[in-house]
């Protein structure tokens, strides 16, 4: 059954769900400073009024129900909200020693393709690119690799001994470390499972309309997978897609439990958060909050709040692991954040990037942002305020993805101080490795850096 919500969303568990909303004309950027593959980052809102766009694509690129938009912004166009006071943030190229509590400790380069996804656990790093390969690195050394043969690797997450990869073809692959050869990964399945597809295909009510005179099974994404996000306990996996839906998968048996038509445009980010809440961000300029509840033997997600409505596409989300805070990055270069255990209120904005925010990670008291302007900002939360510790430069292309793990001491244990290893992946085909500390030098203990509620969007309280 499906049910319309006050947010105009629909959920499918059994039976039909309604036709997906018609998408208006979309835009394809024509950046001058990037490669020809730069159009595979995020889906940009059709309502954007940022100059420099031209409509070049009039047919689907990645799926039959694609809304036709690929590149989210013109890289040569500065953010209209860019704001930065150089006196409050240390900026250094290539990890200049010491300042800002951040140091560049390595750079991983393998001429295979532009880096679009990262995942890290312990001393292992997984990188995904447009070469169709997933590479595995250990202590900054190339350890192994496995080929997906299914196009651009847009997202990677690690849950226990399994590695999940989301692809441009709308499928999710599942991999496991080979017990016979630690340098090899074996593909053990995909989402949805073939037997589930065959079984569902026999029941007419399992088909949903995705395009005029076109239909597909509700358990299948019909466009590129843009993001993956597991729950903290590792029991569920969320997948977001350019088909405007997010789906819920039970990891134990790879079963699709629910599909939700969440937005009016591509879903660019999904993250499971605190108090059974799930956050989604879209090219339609909104951030929505969903509550996960048991529904008989299954699970149901209900919309509880819309945090943001704006013209700029939402491109990244992150949830603080130590406080009830959610961060949102947008194509206008601004980071918004909201706070609250049950009902979230807008806390302010973090401003500094001159172009789109492409990725966010949060750990400890830190939140780190990567941007199309080729920089990373390290922000530290203390009490109700955020301060900028560092601006990290060194990449020669947009920073498309980030991963963060606790720093380890010489014996392989967790470092006693609040230090983190941060990996940044870029369209310059490199991954840089940074050591970042939560403890700023005394010289950096300055006033608050966050800006209260700004113009340009509607903040729902």
User: What is the full per-residue pLDDT of the chain (461 aa) written as tens digits?
Assistant: 333 334 445 555 433 333 333 333 332 222 333 333 344 355 555 433 332 222 232 333 344 443 334 444 343 345 544 444 444 566 554 444 344 578 999 999 876 789 999 999 998 999 999 888 899 999 888 888 888 777 789 999 999 989 999 999 999 999 998 777 767 888 999 999 999 999 988 888 888 988 777 888 899 999 999 999 999 999 999 999 999 999 999 999 999 999 999 999 999 999 999 999 999 999 999 999 999 998 887 899 999 999 999 999 999 999 999 999 999 999 999 999 999 988 999 999 999 999 999 999 999 999 999 999 999 999 999 987 999 999 999 999 999 999 999 998 766 566 656 899 999 999 999 999 999 999 865 544 444 344 444 444 555 54
**Does residue 4 lie in a domain region?**
no
**Does residue 411 lie in a domain region?**
yes
Contact 347, 337 (CB under 8 A): yes
- Domain interval for residue 169: 10-459
Put the strands of the sheet holding 366-371 in their side by side order. Answer: 90-93, 385-393, 376-382, 366-371, 357-363
**Does residue 277 lie in a domain region?**
yes
43 secondary structure, DSSP code: P
**Does residue 5 lie in a domain region?**
no
**Does residue 437 lie in a domain region?**
yes
Please, is 150 exposed, middle or buried when counting C-beta atoms within 10 Å of its C-beta (0-12, 13-18, 19+)?
A: middle
DSSP H stretches of helix in 145-253: 194-201
Interatomic CA distance for residues 150 and 164, integer angstroms: 14
**Measured on CA atoms in the order 220, 297, 8, 326, is the torsion positive or negative?**
negative
Cα–Cα separations (whole angstroms), residue 308 to 50, 167, 327, 359: 19, 28, 11, 18
Q: Which residues contact 442 (CB under 8 A, 6 or more apart)?
A: none
Torsion of CA 273, 277, 279, 284, to 10 degrees: -170
Q: Which residues contact 173 (CB under 8 A, 6 or more apart)?
A: 148, 150, 164, 165, 167, 187, 189, 190
**Does residue 310 lie in a domain region?**
yes
Interatomic CA distance for residues 156 and 134, integer angstroms: 9
How many domains does one find in the chain?
1
Any idea what the Cα angle at residue 143 is, between residues 138 and 147, rounded to 5°?
Answer: 125
Interatomic CA distance for residues 45 and 37, integer angstroms: 19
Q: What pTM was computed for the model?
A: 0.80
Give the domain CATH number at 393: 2.130.10.10
**Does residue 3 lie in a domain region?**
no
Q: Which residues contact 117 (CB under 8 A, 6 or more apart)?
A: 127, 128, 129, 153, 154, 155, 156, 165, 166, 401, 425
Phi, psi of 311 (to 5 degrees): -80, -30
Q: Find the helix or strand (DSSP H, E) in which 327 lies.
A: strand 325-330
- What token pair was written down for 399? 């920073």
**Does residue 148 lie in a domain region?**
yes
């Amino acid at each position: 059954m499906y049910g319309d919500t006050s947010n105009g969303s629909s959920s499918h568990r059994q039976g039909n769900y309604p036709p997906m909303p018609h998408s208006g004309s979309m835009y394809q950027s024509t950046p001058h400073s990037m490669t020809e593959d730069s159009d595979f980052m995020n889906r940009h809102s059709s309502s954007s009024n940022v100059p420099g766009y031209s409509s070049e694509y009039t047919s689907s690129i990645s799926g039959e129900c694609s809304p036709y938009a690929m590149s989210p912004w013109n890289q040569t166009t500065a953010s209209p909200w860019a704001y930065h006071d150089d006196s409050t943030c240390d900026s250094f190229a290539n990890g200049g020693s010491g300042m800002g509590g951040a140091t560049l400790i390595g750079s991983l380069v393998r001429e295979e393709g532009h880096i679009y996804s990262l995942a890290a656990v312990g001393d292992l790093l997984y990188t995904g690119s447009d070469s169709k390969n997933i590479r595995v690195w250990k202590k900054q050394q190339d350890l192994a690799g496995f080929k997906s043969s299914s196009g651009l690797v847009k997202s990677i997450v690690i849950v226990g001994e399994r590695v999940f990869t989301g692809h441009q073809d709308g499928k999710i692959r599942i991999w496991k470390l080979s017990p016979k050869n630690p340098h090899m990964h074996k593909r053990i399945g995909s989402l949805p499972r073939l037997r589930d597809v065959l079984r569902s295909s026999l029941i007419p009510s399992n088909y949903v309309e995705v395009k005029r005179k076109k239909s597909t099974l509700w358990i299948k994404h019909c466009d590129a997978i843009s993001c993956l996000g597991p729950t903290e306990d590792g029991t569920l996996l969320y997948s977001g897609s350019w088909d405007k839906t997010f789906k819920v998968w039970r990891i134990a048996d790879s079963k699709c439990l629910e599909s939700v038509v969440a937005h009016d445009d591509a879903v660019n980010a999904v993250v499971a958060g605190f108090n059974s809440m799930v956050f989604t961000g879209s090219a339609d300029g909104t951030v929505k909050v969903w509550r996960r509840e048991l529904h008989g033997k299954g699970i149901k997600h209900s919309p509880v709040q819309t945090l943001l409505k704006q013209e700029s596409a939402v491109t990244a989300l992150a949830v603080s692991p130590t406080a009830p805070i959610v961060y949102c990055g947008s194509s206008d270069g601004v980071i918004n954040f909201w706070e609250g255990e049950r009902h979230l209120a807008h806390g302010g904005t973090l401003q500094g990037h001159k172009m789109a925010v492409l990725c966010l990670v949060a750990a400890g008291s830190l939140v780190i942002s990567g941007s199309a302007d080729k920089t990373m900002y390290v922000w530290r939360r203390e009490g109700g305020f955020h301060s900028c510790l560092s601006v990290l430069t060194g990449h020669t292309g947009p920073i498309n993805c980030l991963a963060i793990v606790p720093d380890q001491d010489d014996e392989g244990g967790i470092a006693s101080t609040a230090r983190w290893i941060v990996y940044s992946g870029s369209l310059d085909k490199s991954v840089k490795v940074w050591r970042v500390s939560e403890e700023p030098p005394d010289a950096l203990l300055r006033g608050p850096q966050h800006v209260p509620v700004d113009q340009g969007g509607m903040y729902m309280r």
